[in-house]
């Protein structure tokens, strides 16, 4: 892929062949020049699409009516291709199908660069891309499915009507759930047994002379396995060529940002500044803090100390919650002094880093409160650390005990542990939110600890009146929003932020 | 098992003679070269030798047939194993950059060992075999040979007697040699029906629909079962063995049989009763698909393979024509056309064939052979004449026929390819 300039240059209709099906295996990298803006935009939008695929896949049964409806909405909203026909009709002035497919193609390859570097990233990327592919392939008609397979060198022939008649009984007896009628109706594909190992191994298909006779619906499994293998290999290769790409200074920051991407609000602009008093932090930690911050707060109170990772994660969170610099200094100082640190040492060593967080010392690149992605993926905690994401980094037994001590119901705990097992850490936290706030559906898609806090405060009736517990649960029910679950809610400021004061800080943070 | 003339103590004297005069090197080399289609196929093949005093050496490889001969005659291995074809010469594997020395291809192999049937055979146990339980091997070969050919499309299968208590199958097709680990294990699992170890009582469970593979296997089974199991093994004779069979049946049938068996002592009638009861239960039950009688047959007779032997591309397996040190028997190919009359106790021992070497023997068609031999070198000629004078001859012929079939296949493939290329 060439990144030689900012010029946009479209290659003509020879690309049409590449894009004549909506799903694709992404075998060939795109060969055109694109602008950096398009580079970043395409990538971010695909990331949003993949996250939607992940969320919907866990929240709803795949291919259920709700799943389909919501996923289709995401496709439209983000302008990704879904329709089967390639034509140049424009819908309401939006991009044409061709343009959508081009974006699909390019954005996939960009994300490969961002997601090839670690096992975790690869696994996530492959999983979502497979689900995406499965969905799109499923939308194709029978004929288009066969066309697609042939075009992609999966030269699986269809079994002729004649042959099906001859093999009728054998076919019926080879697969559970096939009857005479279904054998007649369904398409069967002839697949070399080496490409259908799982089905052969468990004797779920008819095998003759080394050819497996695969019914229509099983063909997806085979195609998916093939896709996963290809993508896995491709990512390994991409990882090897990555140093060359990373040496291009324009791309490195974009790619780094993508792989830790949090594609929503960054809570760097503080609303509600000074609205939280220090006395409120203790009760708030139990009610409105996400589990990670609740733990950090507890550890701080118990040990009168937190290590650097914990200070950063919790300190920036508190800043996002609305603590002023003065409040923060007071908060940390009073706690540390109770421990082994005396006032002098605090002022010398720790105060500096807190001022740093608030942009008062030197210039550092990252002042924004950490998103869930960042907490989960970077800087795993070691012995003596309390930062990180409890759903990701805690031993499940320990997590279970902690949840029990917070009086979460056993059913709820099991639900959380199931999500943890499936590596859906943010969804587990969302479930924790739902259980602690006694609501069915959080109504938002959790991506950021400060988002958790804001949503909780919204539910509980605002930052000031946390004493009105009774009304809260009722209001909580009413407030379950019917917004799209994928959009993080914009923070609702209860009072106008004092922009003038914070003016320079705002611009400071825009850089991120 | 009577081991007539053979005495393991004689091995050190017999082996050198065997490797000098009897081991069929030309055929062996021809086999493992596979027509020379792939470069260095023979040279990159791993052999392992077990020498006197159980010294085991791996990563042996040879450039030519001659080199192989000389080495074997020099070191006189007690056991020879064949491994995979590697990316480099195995004997030089230490000089290769770490990670790049890899097993690339190998025949798909199966190892059926009589010890794995100890829970269902009454005549023998452990390393012993007799003509009664040998039928199990016959059944195994029939079922697996059919499946590998008809279901998987393999054509070149070499079945070999292991020399003591089992058989091996070498699937030599191109496609088979190129199979991945996953594919090999998938084939082995497809062929497996008996599952479970000591703790499992009911090792075969069938449910609807009955896959065609199982139906075919049952057809073979039904041919042998009555004579083998009911008569030969007498599984419905003594109380102890009847109880074992009953433990595989549901409670209600078991009760009925226990009372029936009190009056009926004829095992064949007892078996018929079991089948009738199962049948009745099946037709009266709404659930359907109850195959207890078939499960019993399969548990007592169906081939038990070790998936681990078949899975690994780099797995080493005993070589055909090697000697079994404990029995002295030569690991000979089995002619499937005469499978039902194959008798492991008739397989020549090394002492027998060395003895036969001493005696001059009349050979059929010796004159034709003389003409052919004129075209080969003197040493080889002598050796060819040598093994032909012994009982080993007919087994080498089996290998010859096998090699011919592979050669014809290769030729056919090449013609197809060139025809294809000529089409524009």
With contact defined as beta carbons under 8 Å apart, do A109 and A29 qualify? yes
Query: Considering only CB atoms, which residues of chain A are within 8 Å of chain B?
Result: 170, 172-176, 178, 193-194, 197-198, 200-203, 206-211
- Residue A366's pLDDT is 47
Cα(A291)–Cα(A287) distance, integer angstroms:
10
Dihedral of the CA atoms A269, A270, A271, A274 (nearest 10)? -160
Enumerate the β-bridge partners of residue B103: B86
Residues in chain A within 8 Å Cβ distance of B180: 194
- Residue A62's pLDDT is 73
> Residue written as tokens 């559906």?
A441
Distance from CA of A158 to the nearest CA of B (A): 19
Query: Is B183 in Cβ contact with A173 (below 8 Å)?
Result: no
| Closest Cβ opposite residue A209 in set B153, B183, B214 | B153
Query: Is B190 in Cβ contact with A201 (below 8 Å)?
Result: yes
Query: By CA distance, what is B178's nearest residue in A?
Result: A194
> Residue written as tokens 């492991």?
B344
Residues in chain B within 8 Å Cβ distance of A194: 179-180, 183
Query: Is A209 in Cβ contact with B152 (below 8 Å)?
Result: yes
| Closest Cβ opposite residue B212 in set A170, A178, A201 | A170
How far apart, in Å, are the Cα atoms of A57 and each of A48, A261, A266, A447, B98? 14, 20, 25, 16, 43
> Residue written as tokens 């609702």?
A492
> Judging by DSSP bridges, how do beta strands A206-208 and B166-171 pair with one another?
unpaired
Band the pLDDT of B99: cuts 50, 70, 90. confident
By CB neighbour count within 10 A (0-12 exposed, 13-18 middle, 19+ buried), where does B329 fall? buried
- Residue B232's pLDDT is 87
By CB neighbour count within 10 A (0-12 exposed, 13-18 middle, 19+ buried), where does B188 fall? buried
Interface mutation target, options B180, B209, B215, chain A, most CBs of A under 10 Å: B209
Greater pLDDT, B376 or B272 = B272
Query: By CA distance, what is A210's nearest residue in B?
Result: B152
* Cβ-Cβ contacts under 8 Å for A467 (sequence gap 6 or more): none
Distance from CA of B262 to the nearest CA of A (A): 39
Among this protein's residues, is B111 annotated catalytic? yes
Q: Tell me the H-state helices in A60-179.
A: 65-78, 97-115, 119-138, 142-151, 161-166, 168-174
ipTM: 0.87
- Residue B379's pLDDT is 64
Residues in chain B within 8 Å Cβ distance of A175: 209
Distance from CA of B38 to the nearest CA of A (A): 22
pLDDT, tens only, B244-263? 898 898 888 888 888 888 88
Which stretch of DSSP H or E encloses residue B109? Answer: strand B108-113
Residues in chain A within 8 Å Cβ distance of B183: 193-194, 197
pLDDT, tens only, B289-323? 689 999 999 999 999 998 999 999 999 999 999 99
- Residue A83's pLDDT is 65
DSSP B186-241: HHHHHT------TT-S------SS--HHHHHHHHHHHHHHIIIIIIIS-TTTSHHH
| Closest Cβ opposite residue B212 in set A201, A206, A209 | A206
Measure the CA angle with vertex A277, ends A271 and A278; round to 5°. Answer: 120
Distance from CA of A198 to the nearest CA of B (A): 7
Residues in chain B within 8 Å Cβ distance of A208: 150-151, 153
- Residue A216's pLDDT is 77
Band the pLDDT of B380: cuts 50, 70, 90. low
- A136-145, B51-60, B159-168, B176-185: lowest mean pLDDT where? A136-145
pLDDT, tens only, B47-72? 999 999 899 999 999 999 999 999 99
Band the pLDDT of B2: cuts 50, 70, 90. very low
The DSSP code for B151 is I
Query: Is B190 in Cβ contact with A203 (below 8 Å)?
Result: yes
Distance from CA of B93 to the nearest CA of A (A): 27
Residues in chain A within 8 Å Cβ distance of B185: 201
3-state secondary structure A154-167: CCCEECCHHHHHHC
| Closest Cβ opposite residue A194 in set B183, B209, B210 | B183
Residues in chain A within 8 Å Cβ distance of B211: 173-174, 203
| Closest Cβ opposite residue A203 in set B152, B183, B211 | B211
DSSP A418-475: HHHHTT-HHHHHHHHHHHHTT-S--SS----HHHHHHHHHHHTT-SS-TT-HHHHHHH
With contact defined as beta carbons under 8 Å apart, do A374 and A262 qualify? yes
Instruction: From the candidates B105, B107, B113, B356, give the one annotated as an active-site residue.
Output: B113
Cα(B248)–Cα(B394) distance, integer angstroms:
44
The DSSP code for A349 is I
Task: Kindly state the percentage of chain B with pLDDT values over 70.
Answer: 92
| Closest Cβ opposite residue A176 in set B186, B189, B209 | B209
For chains A and B, CB pairs below 8 A equal 54
DSSP A466-485: TT-HHHHHHHHHHH---S-T
Cα(B396)–Cα(B384) distance, integer angstroms:
10
Residue A329: how many CB atoms within 10 A of its CB?
18
| Closest Cβ opposite residue B182 in set A197, A207, A211 | A197
With contact defined as beta carbons under 8 Å apart, do A197 and B233 qualify? no
Query: Is A200 in Cβ contact with B187 (below 8 Å)?
Result: yes
Closest of B359, B381, B386 to residue B370, by C-alpha: B381
Query: By CA distance, what is A176's nearest residue in B?
Result: B209
The SS3 call for residue B386 is helix
Residues in chain B within 8 Å Cβ distance of A228: none
Query: Is A175 in Cβ contact with B153 (below 8 Å)?
Result: no
Cα(A195)–Cα(A219) distance, integer angstroms:
10
Interface mutation target, options B152, B180, B217, B289, chain A, most CBs of A under 10 Å: B152
> Residue written as tokens 């439209």?
A76
With contact defined as beta carbons under 8 Å apart, do A250 and A36 qualify? yes
Closest of A437, A392, A440, A393 to residue A419, by C-alpha: A392
Q: How many CA atoms lie within 13 A of A88 on its CB side?
A: 2
Query: By CA distance, what is B188's nearest residue in A?
Result: A201
* Cβ-Cβ contacts under 8 Å for A178 (sequence gap 6 or more): A171, A172, A186, A215, B209
> Residue written as tokens 């069929």?
B24
* Rounded average pLDDT over B365-376: 56
Query: By CA distance, what is A207's nearest residue in B?
Result: B151
Cα(B143)–Cα(B216) distance, integer angstroms:
8
Interface mutation target, options A166, A194, A222, A228, chain B, most CBs of B under 10 Å: A194
Q: How many CA atoms lie within 13 A of B43 on its CB side?
A: 11
Among this protein's residues, is B7 annotated catalytic? no
Q: Which two tokens stand for residue A18?
A: 């590449």
Closest of A404, A122, A101, A389 to residue A237, by C-alpha: A122
Query: Is A194 in Cβ contact with B180 (below 8 Å)?
Result: yes
Distance from CA of A27 to the nearest CA of B (A): 23
* Rounded average pLDDT over B104-131: 91
Per-residue pLDDT of chain A (512 residues), as tens digits, is 444 333 333 333 344 556 767 788 888 888 888 888 888 888 888 988 888 888 787 767 777 888 888 888 888 888 888 766 555 455 556 677 788 888 899 999 999 988 888 777 888 889 899 999 988 888 887 777 778 887 777 778 888 889 988 998 899 888 877 777 788 888 888 999 998 998 999 999 999 999 999 987 788 878 888 888 889 999 999 988 888 887 788 888 888 777 765 545 556 655 566 678 888 899 999 999 999 999 999 999 999 999 989 999 999 999 989 888 889 999 999 999 998 888 888 888 888 888 888 877 766 544 788 888 889 887 888 888 899 999 999 988 889 999 999 989 999 999 999 999 988 898 899 999 999 999 888 777 788 899 999 999 888 875 444 333 333 333 333 333 333 333 333 333 333 333 333 333 323 233 32
Among this protein's residues, is B46 annotated catalytic? yes
> Judging by DSSP bridges, how do beta strands A157-158 and A188-192 pair with one another?
antiparallel
Residues in chain A within 8 Å Cβ distance of B153: 208-211
Interface mutation target, options A210, A213, A226, chain B, most CBs of B under 10 Å: A210
With contact defined as beta carbons under 8 Å apart, do B324 and B164 qualify? yes
DSSP B263-304: H---HHHHHHHHHHHHHHHHHH-SS----HHHHHHHHHHS--
Interface mutation target, options A192, A203, A225, chain B, most CBs of B under 10 Å: A203
Cα(A233)–Cα(B30) distance, integer angstroms:
38
Measure the CA angle with vertex A163, ends A162 and A169; round to 5°. Answer: 110
> Residue written as tokens 């009072």?
A495
Residue B247: how many CB atoms within 10 A of its CB?
10
Kindly report the pTM of this predicted structure. 0.66
**Cβ density class B78-117: b for 16+ within 10 Å, e for less:** bbbbbbbbbebbbbebeeeeeeebebbbbbbbbbbbbebb
pLDDT, tens only, B381-407? 666 668 888 999 999 999 999 999 999
| Closest Cβ opposite residue B209 in set A173, A193, A209 | A173
Residue B319: how many CB atoms within 10 A of its CB?
22
* Cβ-Cβ contacts under 8 Å for A181 (sequence gap 6 or more): none
Residues in chain A within 8 Å Cβ distance of B154: 210
Instruction: From the candidates B69, B107, B111, B386, give the one annotated as an active-site residue.
Output: B111
């Amino acid at each position: 892929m060439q990144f030689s300039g900012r010029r946009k240059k479209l290659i003509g209709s020879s690309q049409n062949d590449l894009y004549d099906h909506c799903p694709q295996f992404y075998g060939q990298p795109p060969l055109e020049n694109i602008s950096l803006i398009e580079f970043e935009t395409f990538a971010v939008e695909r990331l949003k699409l993949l996250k939607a695929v992940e969320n919907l896949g866990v929240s709803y049964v795949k291919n259920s009516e709700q799943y389909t409806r919501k996923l289709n909405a995401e496709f439209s909203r983000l302008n990704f291709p879904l329709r089967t026909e390639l034509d140049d009709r424009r819908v309401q002035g939006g991009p044409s199908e061709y343009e959508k497919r081009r974006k699909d193609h390019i954005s996939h390859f960009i994300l490969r660069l961002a997601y090839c570097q670690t096992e975790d990233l690869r696994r996530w990327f492959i999983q979502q891309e497979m689900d995406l592919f499965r969905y799109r392939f499923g939308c194709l008609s029978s004929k288009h499915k066969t066309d697609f397979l042939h075009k992609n060198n999966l030269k699986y022939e269809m079994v002729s009507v004649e042959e099906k008649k001859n093999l009728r009984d054998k076919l019926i007896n080879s697969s559970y759930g096939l009857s005479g009628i279904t054998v007649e109706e369904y398409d069967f594909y002839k697949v070399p047994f080496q490409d259908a190992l799982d089905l052969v191994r468990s004797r779920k298909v008819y095998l003759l002379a080394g050819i497996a006779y695969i019914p229509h619906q099983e063909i997806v499994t085979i195609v998916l396995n093939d896709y996963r293998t290809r993508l896995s290999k491709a990512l390994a290769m991409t990882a090897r060529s990555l140093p060359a790409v990373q040496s291009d200074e324009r791309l490195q920051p974009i790619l780094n940002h993508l792989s830790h991407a949090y594609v929503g609000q960054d809570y760097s602009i503080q609303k509600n500044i000074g609205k939280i008093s220090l006395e409120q932090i203790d009760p708030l930690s139990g009610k409105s803090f996400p589990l990670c911050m609740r733990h950090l707060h507890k550890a701080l109170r118990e040990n009168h100390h937190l290590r650097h990772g914990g200070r950063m994660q919790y300190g920036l969170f508190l800043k996002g919650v609305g603590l002023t610099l003065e409040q923060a200094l007071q908060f940390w100082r009073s706690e540390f002094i109770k421990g082994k640190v005396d006032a002098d040492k605090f002022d010398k060593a720790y105060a500096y880093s807190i001022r740093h967080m608030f942009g008062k010392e030197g210039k550092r690149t990252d002042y924004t409160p950490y998103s869930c992605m960042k907490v989960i993926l970077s800087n795993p905690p070691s012995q003596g650390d309390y930062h990180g994401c409890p759903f990701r980094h805690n031993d499940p037994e320990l997590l279970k005990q902690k949840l029990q001590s917070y009086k979460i119901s056993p059913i709820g705990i099991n639900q959380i542990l199931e999500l943890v097992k499936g590596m859906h850490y943010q969804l587990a936290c969302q479930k924790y939110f739902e259980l602690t706030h006694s609501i069915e559906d959080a109504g938002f898609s959790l991506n950021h600890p400060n988002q958790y806090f804001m949503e909780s405060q919204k539910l509980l009736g605002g930052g000031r009146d946390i004493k009105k517990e009774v009304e809260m649960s009722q209001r909580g029910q009413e407030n379950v929003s019917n917004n799209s679950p994928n959009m993080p809610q914009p923070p609702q400021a209860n009072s106008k932020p004092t922009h003038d004061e914070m003016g320079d800080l705002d611009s400071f943070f825009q850089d991120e | 098992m009577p081991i007539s003339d053979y005495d393991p103590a004689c091995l050190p004297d017999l082996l050198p003679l065997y490797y000098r005069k009897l081991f069929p090197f030309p055929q062996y080399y021809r086999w493992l070269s596979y027509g020379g289609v792939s470069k260095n196929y023979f040279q990159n093949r791993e052999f392992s030798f077990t020498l006197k005093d159980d010294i085991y050496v791996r990563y042996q490889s040879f450039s030519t047939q001659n080199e192989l001969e000389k080495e074997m005659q020099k070191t006189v291995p007690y056991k020879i194993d064949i491994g995979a074809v590697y990316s480099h010469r195995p004997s030089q594997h230490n000089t290769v950059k770490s990670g790049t020395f890899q097993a690339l291809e190998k025949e798909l192999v199966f190892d059926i060992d009589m010890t794995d049937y100890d829970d269902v055979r009454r005549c023998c146990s452990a390393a012993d075999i007799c003509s009664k339980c040998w039928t199990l091997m016959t059944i195994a070969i029939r079922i697996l040979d059919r499946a590998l050919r008809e279901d998987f499309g393999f054509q070149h299968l070499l079945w070999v007697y292991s020399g003591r208590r089992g058989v091996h199958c070498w699937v030599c097709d191109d496609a088979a040699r190129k199979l991945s680990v996953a594919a090999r294990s998938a084939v082995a699992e497809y062929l497996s029906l008996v599952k479970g170890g000591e703790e499992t009582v009911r090792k075969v469970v069938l449910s609807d629909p009955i896959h065609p593979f199982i139906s075919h296997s049952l057809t073979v089974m039904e041919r042998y079962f009555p004579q083998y199991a009911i008569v030969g093994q007498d599984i419905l004779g003594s109380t102890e063995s009847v109880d074992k069979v009953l433990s595989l049946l549901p409670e209600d049938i078991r009760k009925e049989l226990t009372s029936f068996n009190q009056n009926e002592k004829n095992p064949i009638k007892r078996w018929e009763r079991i089948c009738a009861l199962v049948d009745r239960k099946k037709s009266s039950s709404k659930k359907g698909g109850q195959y207890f009688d078939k499960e019993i047959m399969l548990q007592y007779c169906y081939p038990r393979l070790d998936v681990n032997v078949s899975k690994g591309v780099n797995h080493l397996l005993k070589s055909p024509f090697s000697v079994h040190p404990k029995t002295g028997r030569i690991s000979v190919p089995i002619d499937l056309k005469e499978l039902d009359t194959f008798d492991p106790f008739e397989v020549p021992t090394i002492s027998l064939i060395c003895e036969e070497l001493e005696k001059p023997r009349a050979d059929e068609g010796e004159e034709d052979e003389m003409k052919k031999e004129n075209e080969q070198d003197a040493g080889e000629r002598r050796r060819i004449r040598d093994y032909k004078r012994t009982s080993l001859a007919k087994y080498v012929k089996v290998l010859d026929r096998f090699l011919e079939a592979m050669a014809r296949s290769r030729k056919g493939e090449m013609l197809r390819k060139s025809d294809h290329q000529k089409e524009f």
